[in-house]
Amino acid sequence: MERINKKLFLWISLLALLGGGMNAFAILQFSLTVSHITGSVTRISTDLAYSNIPQLKIMLGLVFSFFSGAIVSGIMIGSGRDFELRKRYGDTFIFIGVLLKIIDIYFYNKMIFVFILAFSLGLQNGLFIRYKGMVIRTTHMTGTVTDLGVVIGHYLRGNREIVWKMKYYAINILSFITGGLLVGLGLKYCGRNVLNYMSLAYVLSGIYYFLLRDRYYKTKR
């Protein structure tokens, strides 16, 4: 089971890398963030205050798109609170990969493009993923940075049994940063072709999940 956990950790790190890449792409191409909903909700308030209607419509679209992705995630996964290696997780990431390719072909440089990115990350963020009892989010780092800080605090108080958590959170943050770096470099040197690599990476993450799932159930027999 420990080998399965290591492979699951690798998969989660890949998802964080992809989440960081998607955010970086939206920032660099549209000057918008697609998973930092706190900022978007705040912008709704300020846009209302200053009657900035065009920007208000964009912020509402981003929040609604992310929210819709979370709804679809809830429909797909159901209400169970126990994380199981369900087939739908792999299907979801393959779907996101295919969706990226479709919007690249038909909607590139149109505002609907960034809305679909937000939908995709809402879908990804809504997936109920646990790793050794911890609920995992892979599209933004606010909670992860907070958790790392809390765990470091516990460590400084003398709890030496949570070093593995510190390593996990640190690697998750590094994966997210790496995803943004890779996409930034990809846009710089490859232009929009970076979307092909992002699309492929999502499909491969889904395939890797299915291989992991198959290995897990074989060990249970």
- Encoded amino acid at 44, one letter: I
Q: What angle do CA 68, 72, 74 make, to 5 degrees?
A: 115
Q: What pLDDT shows up at residue 126?
A: 86
The pLDDT value recorded for residue 54 is 94
| Angstrom distance (rounded) from CA 81 to CA 197 | 33
Cα–Cα dist 28/145, whole Å:
23
pLDDT at position 199 is 97
Residue with tokens 């995992």: 136
By the 8 A CB rule, do 119 and 63 touch? no
| 47 in Cβ contact with 59 (< 8 Å) | yes
Compute the chain's Rg from CA coordinates.
18
DSSP annotation of 79 reads: S
Q: Are 176 and 17 in contact (CB under 8 A)?
A: yes
Stated as kind and residue range, the H or E segment containing 131 is strand 129-131
Count CA within 13 A, CB hemisphere, residue 1: 4
Whole-structure pTM value: 0.90
| Burial class of residue 111 in the structure, from the number of CB atoms within 10 Å of its CB (0-12 exposed, 13-18 middle, 19+ buried) | middle
Question: What is the rounded CA–CA span in Å between residue 76 and residue 86?
Answer: 10
Q: Which two tokens stand for residue 104?
A: 């690249």
Structural domain boundaries of the chain?
2-220
Number of C-alpha atoms within 13 angstroms, CB side, residue 192? 11
Q: What is the pLDDT along the chain (221 residues), one digit of tens a residue?
A: 456 678 888 999 999 999 999 999 999 999 998 988 888 999 999 999 999 999 999 999 999 999 999 999 888 876 655 556 777 888 999 999 999 999 999 998 889 999 999 999 999 988 877 777 777 788 888 888 999 999 999 999 998 888 988 999 999 999 999 999 999 999 999 998 999 999 999 999 999 999 988 887 776 66
- pLDDT score, position 2: 58
**Alpha helices, H only, the chain:** 2-30, 37-49, 53-77, 87-106, 111-126, 142-156, 163-190, 194-220
